[in-house]
Amino acid sequence: MTKIKFHYGDDVPLEMHKVRIVQKLNLLPIEERAKAMDEAGYNTFLLQNRDVFMDMLTDSGVNAMSDNQQAAMMNADDSYAGSATFTRLESKLEELFGTEYFLPTHQGRASENIISQAYVKKDTIIPMNYHFTTSKAHITLNGGKIEEIYIDEALHLTSDHPFKGNMDIDKLKNLIDKHGADKISYVRLEAGTNLIGGQPHSVENIREAKKVCDEHGLMLVYDASLLADNLHLIKQREAACADMSIREITREITDQCDIIYFSARKLGSARGGGISTKHKDVYMKLREYITLYEGFLTYGGMSVREMEALTVGLEETMDEDVISQGPNFIKHMTKQFQEKNVPVITPPGGLGCHLNAMDFVDHLSQEEYPAGALAAAIYIISGVRGMERGTMSEARQEDGTETLSHMELVRLAMPRRVFTLSQTTYAVDRIAWLYENRELIGGLEFEEEPDVLRFFFGRLKATSDWPEKLVAKFREDFGDSL
């Protein structure tokens, strides 16, 4: 990674690219933002993009492509079968991951569906370092049960532990001893644990997990969607990997895995996804599901243009200057929040900067969806769209009671090569003002509540007139400013 030291002032992240294509943004007046939030049912997923100033909802499918990716898309071979485009992508994955076989899917959750259909049986257990919403849903729908075996430090909101995404190996051994290996479908490890602040795992941890899996004849399934951030953080934080190249660290990880799946909307800055494996028997079992649910084996629901962009994007992921910008911007944003005493998850991970809503709006109970309320308030006062990662993102228990999340977070995702430093500074400024006026934020309750993945399209309402009071206070302090 290119290191730059500033002579005056604090070090700040330096973009190692130049902007050549731009897209106009709109910043609506606060009254219009409040109206848009109400019409969206206080769910940031339901906002119209035309009403959003900074879209920090996700880093999925919104990363900026490079000039080389755009150029590669012109070389696409759209043959239904035997496509040269597919062969180039398959060869790149074999080069980087050491996997001989590749099955394309239209996105990451399609890969989760296929793996679950093939391997999750009724009443089996899937141990993992932490769940992701769609992975849990697919496993549950197929009759399986997840067991989260994260390390104790994972749930420490403020910490200096470098790898809070690690799997607890002793808990894994105990789980196998308790239930027996025949009751476990596979072991899943996620790069950059999404729901607890994008926290990475170490190379040492995945080696230890693989050793236990091998001892008991279990497969290790790896969600590599957030691999890029995890690679950078490993190189920065794991002493044994400090002198290794990103390419070498990648192989150290992927050599431990029996199945690797990913969303190309995150990894590779393209669209689509896929499943890679070095085992022919695994490939043969999964390929029938590809043709059933996705498409033919050489496109699997992906556009060949996106395949070409992904092939280039995967190679660019091996460049530390490319993959360092996201984590460095997140680190800088986290530091700015800390200086203003805004509660934020530490150490900063990948994917985005994560606000600690439990402390930010500690006057709200979890049943009032504090992370959802905070995300709505942030949009109203700034036009910044973040994502709730808390109790709203869980599902109710069978008796209708809430499943209270371990954490209440608002994720401010950092799409790669998209925002400038001045834009992130604006977001920090407005959110710091909101923290000073946090007592104005009230709760939410559901009006329309889907049974599955309710955070995507459920509609809520404010439990009081707190949005109106927030707008009034903003006008009092900012005048006619947007």
Catalytic (active site) residue 119: no
**Catalytic position from the list 92, 266, 305, 411:** 266
Cβ-Cβ contacts under 8 Å for 400 (sequence gap 6 or more) = none
| C-beta of residue 393 within 8 angstroms of C-beta of residue 405 | yes
**Catalytic position from the list 223, 289, 411, 474:** 223
Extended beta strands in 195-243, E state: 220-223
Q: Which of 388, 383, 373, 364 is nearest to 430 (CA)?
A: 383
Beta-ladder partners of 150: 167
Phi then psi dihedrals of residue 162, to 5 deg: -75, -20
Gap between the Cα atoms of 482 and 471, Å rounded: 11
Q: Which of 189, 194, 184 is nearest to 132 (CA)?
A: 194
Gap between the Cα atoms of 454 and 264, Å rounded: 24
**Catalytic position from the list 136, 389, 411, 454:** 389
Q: Which of 199, 127, 202 is nearest to 157 (CA)?
A: 199
**Catalytic position from the list 99, 133, 391, 424:** 133
Residue 340, Cβ density class (10 Å: 0-12 exposed, 13-18 middle, ≥19 buried): middle
Catalytic (active site) residue 389: yes
CA dihedral over 240, 241, 243, 249, signed as positive or negative: positive
**Catalytic position from the list 18, 80, 401, 480:** 80
Catalytic (active site) residue 38: no
Cβ-Cβ contacts under 8 Å for 72 (sequence gap 6 or more) = 308, 309, 311, 312
Cβ-Cβ contacts under 8 Å for 5 (sequence gap 6 or more) = 11
Catalytic (active site) residue 223: yes
Q: State the CB neighbour count (10 A cutoff) for residue 430.
A: 18
Longest dimension (CA), the chain: 66
Q: Which of 21, 22, 50 is nearest to 36 (CA)?
A: 50
Residue identified by tokens 């994560």 is 354
Angle between helix 370-382 and helix 466-478 axes, rounded to 10 deg: 40
Say which DSSP state 387 is in: E
Q: State the CB neighbour count (10 A cutoff) for residue 48.
A: 9
Strand 352-356 to 384-385 pairing: unpaired
**Catalytic position from the list 97, 283, 455, 474:** 455
**Catalytic position from the list 132, 222, 360, 379:** 132
For 326, the token pair is: 């996201």
Phi then psi dihedrals of residue 181, to 5 deg: -60, -30
Catalytic (active site) residue 455: yes
Q: What is the set of active-site residues?
A: 80, 132-133, 223, 266, 389, 455
